[in-house]
Structure 1
Amino acid sequence: MKKYLYGIDFGTTNSALAIYNEETKEIHHTIILPSLIYFYQEPGTGGSPNYVVGEEAITAYLADDMKGRFIKSVKQILSRSSFTETRIQNKRYNASDLVAIILKELKARADQLIGYDCKKAVIGRPVFFDDDDTQKDTLAQTRLRKATEIAGFVDIRFQFEPIGAAFAYEKSLVKKENVLVADLGGGTTDFTYLVLDPEKAGSKNRKNDMIANGGIYIGGDSFDSAFMWEKGTPYFGKNTQYEATPGKVLTVPKSLFANICSWEQMNFFNSLRIRKDIEDYYYFSGRDPQFKNLITLIENNLGYSVFQSIEKTKITLTNTDSARFSYHQMGIKIDEEVALQNYEKIIAKDVDRIANYLDKFIVQNNIDIQDIDTLFLTGGTSMVNSVQKLFKSRLPHVSLNSGDNFKSVVKGLAYSGYLFED
């Protein structure tokens, strides 16, 4: 029987699995799956869970008139001790349970391709799940390991995601290079500085080649949240005024709108008290039509579809100087031209945080930028214009390379079988 191991990149937006044949030392197949789960309103027959994963989750969510529970960005709750569990279809799910649902789907698809139950995997993880917080980092990895075990894996190793990307890039080299890898995903931006050498590819011990690593909790979701705050929330009544008492006019609390800019905060509106407050604001605003959009958004679980439109705008702006932010659903009407220059201003604070961290990373690790041969960018957020400009301005003399933004990491994880050589 052929021997396989799986490289698994569980991502904020998408997750991927690479099937590695340990005998031929080749990748057999790569599977990409959106990190999405949709739970229908009602349980399945006999009370069994009734959900779909990945691409089917989007289809079911829309076809079901968005009445069930749509889950995305699960990776971002791994490090949050405040999240203990959520109840769906009268069943409790903790963070590991939700992650395991996606990992099980990836494993099932891969097992079907190779024809047997593979229990060996290298699991990717960011350098820091939540900035430089050891306690949160330990919690996140513990939860991720538990999810992997629930999904059916037994022999497990962890690898930093940017190191995985580096090993994928190493396969293309003809000579040794000092490489700075920047992995910019949906939730985090990670850096690794290391020596890559095609003659060492697949070697058992690469510790001496790893010079430095670090990361920051900023990614594509941060950009989307900033865009929602600046461009989206005005359409949902951010500037709505209401008459609290006769003659006393106030503006609706901004905290309501901060919670529609972050997907994992959407549950904030589950509180009956908050729902009552929202209804009161709407009544005392004279039934403001923009504020009514907020009620429509919440009651009809439209958050994901709004963020899809934001994502589409962001992607368009990677290739053009302007894009339309357009959304039309259940009476909500958004149609606004967004210039690239305006978008860059919106995300400037987050890009500056990445830039400042990069500077800190270089200084703290005593890296002479003249020694860097190559900058290797990976991850979907690396395609954003402001990000490209950042690296070109900070490292103008360094050769910039990029691989497959959605497969580089997972392929490198699959090439990390040396981790099993204890």
Structure 2
Amino acid sequence: MTDQTLAIDFGTSNSAAAVLVNGRPYRLPVEQGAETLPTAVFFPANKGRMRIGAAAARALTSGEEGRYMRALKSVLGDPLLHEARLIEGRRRTLSEVITAFLTAVREAAEAQTGQRFARALSGRPEHFHTRDAARDAQAEADLRACYAAAGFKTVDFLFEPEAAARAAHGLGRAGEIGLIVDIGGGTSDFSVFRTEDGRPRILASHGIRLGGTDFDHAVSMTHAMPLLGYGGTLRREMGEGLLPVPNALYADLATWARIPFVYTPETRRQVAEMQRLATDRRAMARLATVLEDELGHDLAFAVEAGKIGANGDGGAGRISMGLIEPGLAAPVTGDTLDAALARHRAPLRAAAAETLEMAGVAPEHVGAVVLVGGSSLMRMVPEEMQALCPGAELRMSEAFTAVVDGLALASAERG
């Protein structure tokens, strides 16, 4: 067997792997025939085999005892990555968890192809952390170390929107200016390109730390968390007047990467005390149930489903919270979804405008906006891009696989 390069799109929400076969990307069905898999792991309570992707989600939703973890990419560059925590009977760091996920992807790819992959070409966002060069560099170093620990001797990185541009279909006529808009789970990345000889030439790239998990957080805080006591009040132990319910726990519970760490004895004691003093004891009792039964991820999945439903043609979704209390649900309409996400519109448009400015391209000269990444399907994204570039044609690329396809194409130049 010879060393081959494995293209890996390690995403905040979803990941994919591919190789180049006869000059074309071949996406590896790493998990049960699917070309992508959720970036998630599940450690069973009985110390059984770790599961990844959809299998991890099934273990969680089936009620199996264990620890589910998702959105691990978001902690790269953060000291939290290297803090050892007790996870189902063993102390592990999140760095070790990411390494285990990448190892599983490599081993699955090798089993399917019969090849050994000592080299990886990985996508990376323009910025893991917006306008923080030190943390950005640390995040790439962290990810590089995880790849090395996962058995790759060499790893190279390519910016994700540049990879997506390589794979974009229908780039248009020679000389056309295009804007790649790649909205992933954790970051939003932009590249301006000019079509030359049927291929894109990158003129400028830029990105910000904002993505689908932030959208989920906003919907959760505005729709689900009020039913758990968020925004409520507590009676004072002594004296008159009321105090606001602390926000920190709700913010953690609405953040995919932090959910596993809210189930502590200290947090449960804090909520029991808040329940005693709450003016809305029923809502606080629901919060206690979430912690006691460890339903944070179930709630996060329900929020994601409600967001997607409200973003669809019908404009109506529902956050089902029946596991917390029978019949409990939070409706999500197109209008309430827009209100929840309103504050994210300006940063998206500003980042795209800044990319155009970096490229020296006026918005009216953009002929095509190519949407990439699962979260680009949120209707506010094409709305904002169309408002910025009113003369551009909106084109949908392969939302979930454009980056890994582009990485596979680029691997020919690196191998």
TM-score (norm 2): 0.90
Partner residue in 2 for 1:206: none
Query: Structure 2: where are the runs of 5+ without partners?
Result: 29-34
Partner residue in 2 for 1:375: 369
Equivalent position SS for 2:168: helix
Matched, 1:299 2:289: no
- Matched residue type, 1:278: V
Partner residue in 1 for 2:163: 164
Partner residue in 2 for 1:7: 7
Partner residue in 2 for 1:40: 44
Describe the superposition over 1:173-219 as per-residue Cα deviations: whole angstroms up to 9, x where unpaired: 67453221110011000011123335558xxxxxxx33211101111
Query: Bigger shift: 297-306 or 249-258?
Result: 249-258
Please say if residues 171 and 198 of structure 1, whose CA atoms lie closer than 8 Å, have aligned partners that are also in contact.
Answer: no
Please say if residues 259 and 297 of structure 2, whose CA atoms lie closer than 8 Å, have aligned partners that are also in contact.
Answer: no
Partner residue in 2 for 1:27: 25
Between the aligned partners of 1:301 and 1:198, the Cα distance in structure 2 is 55
Please say if residues 240 and 288 of structure 1, whose CA atoms lie closer than 8 Å, have aligned partners that are also in contact.
Answer: no
Between the aligned partners of 1:42 and 1:240, the Cα distance in structure 2 is 39
Matched, 1:232 2:232: no
- RMSD, aligned CA: 2.4
Partner residue in 1 for 2:401: 407
Give the CA deviation at 1:221: 0.8
Equivalent position SS for 1:148: helix
Map residues 236-315 of structure 1 onto 2, 5 A cutoff: 236-245=228-237, 248=240, 249-266=242-259, 269-285=262-278, 288-315=281-308
Give the percent of matched residue pairs that are identical in Structure 1 and Structure 2.
Answer: 25
- Matched residue type, 1:186: G
Please say if residues 240 and 291 of structure 1, whose CA atoms lie closer than 8 Å, have aligned partners that are also in contact.
Answer: no
Between the aligned partners of 1:92 and 1:259, the Cα distance in structure 2 is 21
Between the aligned partners of 2:158 and 2:75, the Cα distance in structure 1 is 20
Partner residue in 1 for 2:79: 81
Map residues 91-102 of structure 1 onto 2, 5 A cutoff: 91-102=90-101
Give the CA deviation at 1:386: 1.1
Between the aligned partners of 2:152 and 2:175, the Cα distance in structure 1 is 35
Equivalent position SS for 1:218: coil
Give the CA deviation at 1:87: 2.7
Describe the superposition over 1:364-404 as per-residue Cα deviations: whole angstroms up to 9, x where unpaired: 44322243232111001111111111111111101221211
Between the aligned partners of 2:62 and 2:264, the Cα distance in structure 1 is 27
Please say if residues 219 and 341 of structure 2, whose CA atoms lie closer than 8 Å, have aligned partners that are also in contact.
Answer: yes
Matched, 1:391 2:395: no
Equivalent position SS for 1:245: coil
Does the C-alpha gap of structure 1 residues 289 and 409 become closer, same or farther in structure 2, counting only changes over 3 Å?
Answer: same
Between the aligned partners of 2:175 and 2:407, the Cα distance in structure 1 is 20
- Matched residue type, 1:245: E
Equivalent position SS for 2:108: helix
Equivalent position SS for 2:262: helix
Between the aligned partners of 2:119 and 2:261, the Cα distance in structure 1 is 38
Query: Structure 1: where are the runs of 5+ without partners?
Result: 45-49, 202-208
Between the aligned partners of 1:76 and 1:222, the Cα distance in structure 2 is 11
Equivalent position SS for 2:128: coil
Give the CA deviation at 1:140: 0.9
